[in-house]
Homo-oligomer: A and B are copies of this chain.
């Protein structure tokens, strides 16, 4: 097997592991992966808008609208009319929503961070260089990098809400 195949397989393992593990984490929180992702985006800054979420997730506004409705029904988010521009809906995460996000941290964070930080210095540097190289190869369009969630305590409460 040549190196091209080997690297493709490794990439697919990364994609698959992240997807499957993300599903598990969401289920632990009593949410679906997509719902949790919406909540995480709002949680980053504590507030957001449907348009921002749609852009970040790569889905339509219509889709986001439905998801938000659901999360609002769970009392994890609140909708308010924006004062600056009354067309906009300002989304705010609730205390309950914040708790969910803390309980079900980002899949990559949970699996990756601890291991990465345990690596020797030179290896961390190498990984960063390669990942950025590969990311550049894949996302031709220069998109703004997503901000990183701040890592809180990683706790596991296997309790649906």
List residues of chain A with CB under 8 Å of any chain B CB: 2-21, 23, 58, 108-109, 111-113, 115-117, 119-120, 123-135, 137-140, 143, 145-146, 148-149, 157-158
Contact = CB atoms under 8 A, between A and B. Distances in A.
B14 A131 contact: yes
Contact of A148 (B5, B116, B125): B5
* Chain A interface SS verdict (over half): helix
A17 to B, nearest CB: 3
Given A15-B15, A111-B140, A131 B134 contact: yes
Given A4-B116, A111-B138, A146 B14 contact: no
Give the copy number: 2
Contacts of A20: 58
A115 B48 CA distance: 36
A15 B13 contact: no
